[in-house]
Amino acid sequence: MIRERKRIALECDIAVIGGGPAGIAAAVCAARSGKKVMLVEQNAYLGGALATGLSPLSFLDKKGRPCIGGFAQDFIDRLVENNWSLGTEICPKHNSATCINSEGVKLQAFRMCKEAGVHVLLHCQVLNAEMENDTLKSVTFLGKCNEINVRAGIYIDCTGDGDLAYLAGCSYEKGQPGSGVLQPPTVMFTLENVDQERFFDYIAKHPGELRYNDTRIYENPAYDIEHFRQHRSHVFVGLQETFARHKAAGTLPVERTSFIYINGTNPGEVYVNSIRMINTDATDIMDLSRAEMEGALQIPALVKLLKEDVPGFENCFVSAIAPSIGVRETRRFRGLRRVTETDALNGIVPPDTICLCGYKIDIHSGNDNGLFFRDIEDVFGIPFGALVSAEVSNLMFAGRCISSDAVAFGALRVIPCCMAMGHAAAVGAGLSLDRHVPLREADVSEIRRRLSEEHAVLSMRETK
């Protein structure tokens, strides 16, 4: 007997698709304002890239001032209270680092959604978007042989890849101008029993392990061994000499010029971000499947290299592999406004800014081991219109898939900025519903006022 899929119909005010950093922020903030909110996630957990151990970079700008607040800061504060984060500290390379516990992130995301009254639906992927003229009428999801049809007043696409916007027929760009090459995804994994003091002693005797010979990469001389010794919240990027030596010998198992780890919250624990799957389009299921599998299979060889050739790693072991690959770049959709390279490099903060970004221009090559890493002097602003679809009247984006060019994207793709976008999208969606006005006519001055009341940072004048 052939069984049909079970069909379920649900309704809400705001549907948030994707439970990563942007999605958690959007769902919780919208629910806190009294809206009926549904959060739909394809994985069995919430947190996205933040739940892999990645550090949220650049809560602070280059001058050490807070440039992200609101929900994002609240989330980190709660992690700290539960000993699931080492807090935020200055970093000469990334402006700031905020080391977290990956499992703590998952637990806290569930807690905050439950406290706010968010209806969370896991194990579900977008299957279909029903359109009527320029309005999204409903979205169908598939999960465990169930077909769930969700009708909402406003939809917020926080999938990173823009899966809902794609199915709704929205225009998009991918990759670098001309080539279309995408930044590569990464398979994260966790190492335990690392002797950091022994490792730091080795780096102190070999300072060349912390230096590039590449003019495309901004280097701050203050990013040295004393920084790592003095700051528990740190991101280590180094071993360039070791990796170059193995590359020349044909024994380097990864497409990297350096080894990257994020310090963990437990002694001897680090999260490794050193496997880049080049020539990968994560919106292509064949590419994505290959990258997940081949990336995981690179881990034993990299760990063997570390154990045999890097002091402090002799007795390390793998305790976890991230449950899903970390995607840097796929689709960017057409919004009412577009964030550009000019905005990022010139520190432009337009009057309709709904969050700030102070991170560097950080673009990983998708077809070799290259990296473009450029400092920016001042924060730039992301306007509300970059979160609003130019083509679908009740659709918003938050996170990686907002409206931007490839260069500005190299900065705004980081976790704190994505969380701030989610917060802003929630406020904008809620106000649009309250006043019965289209998103395109939303009162941005009122959105900004409410964001300020909720401790979002919208101008660096607020933090001087």
CATH of residue 13: 3.50.50.60
Mean pLDDT of the residues in the chain? 95
Residue type, 364: H
Which phi-psi region, left, alpha or beta, contains residue 203 (left: φ > 0; alpha: ψ -120 to 50)?
A: alpha
- pTM passes above 0.75: yes
Enclosing domain of residue 54 = 6-180+331-363+374-463
Residue 199 and residue 173 share a domain: no
Model pLDDT for residues 427-457, shown as the tens digit of each residue: 999 999 999 999 999 999 999 999 999 999 9
pLDDT tens sequence across 275-322: 999 999 999 999 999 999 999 999 999 999 999 999 999 999 999 999
DSSP structural state of residue 182: P
Q: Specify whether 233 is located in the same domain as 297.
A: yes
**Of 287, 321, 355, at which residue does a domain stop?**
321
Contact in structure between 59 and 73 (CB atoms under 8 Å): yes
Q: Do residues 30 and 128 share a domain?
A: yes
Note whether 328 and 413 are within 8 A (CB). Answer: yes
Q: Quick one: pLDDT at residue 462?
A: 59
Taking the CA of residue 16 as centre, how many other CA atoms within 13 Å lie in the half-sphere pointing to its CB? 36
Q: Is residue 62 part of a domain?
A: yes
Separation of alpha carbons 331 and 281, rounded Å:
10
In a domain, 1, yes or no: no
In the prediction, which pLDDT does 230 show? 96
Does residue 392 sit within a domain?
yes
**Cα 150 to Cα 166: distance, rounded to the nearest angstrom:** 17
- CB atoms under 10 Å from CB of 275, counted, come to 26
Same domain, 196 and 156: no
CA distance 355 to 286: 36
Task: Let me know whether 337 and 399 are in one domain.
Answer: yes
In DSSP terms, which residues pair with 395 in a beta bridge?
155
Which range has the worst mean pLDDT, 73-87, 181-195, 205-219, 346-360? Answer: 205-219
> C-alpha dihedral over 207, 213, 217, 222, to 10 degrees?
20
Say whether both 299 and 350 belong to one domain.
no
Together in a domain, 112 and 70: yes
Is the pLDDT at 464 greater than 90, yes or no?
no
Residue at 368 is within a domain? no
User: How many other CB atoms are there within 10 angstroms of residue 423's CB atom?
Assistant: 31
Report which DSSP code applies to 428. Answer: H
- Residue 369 inside a domain? The answer is no
pLDDT digits 0-9 by tens, 332-359: 999 999 999 999 999 999 999 999 999 9
Same structural domain, 110 and 253: no
**Percent of the chain whose pLDDT exceeds 70:** 98
Together in a domain, 195 and 305: yes
Domain count, the chain: 2
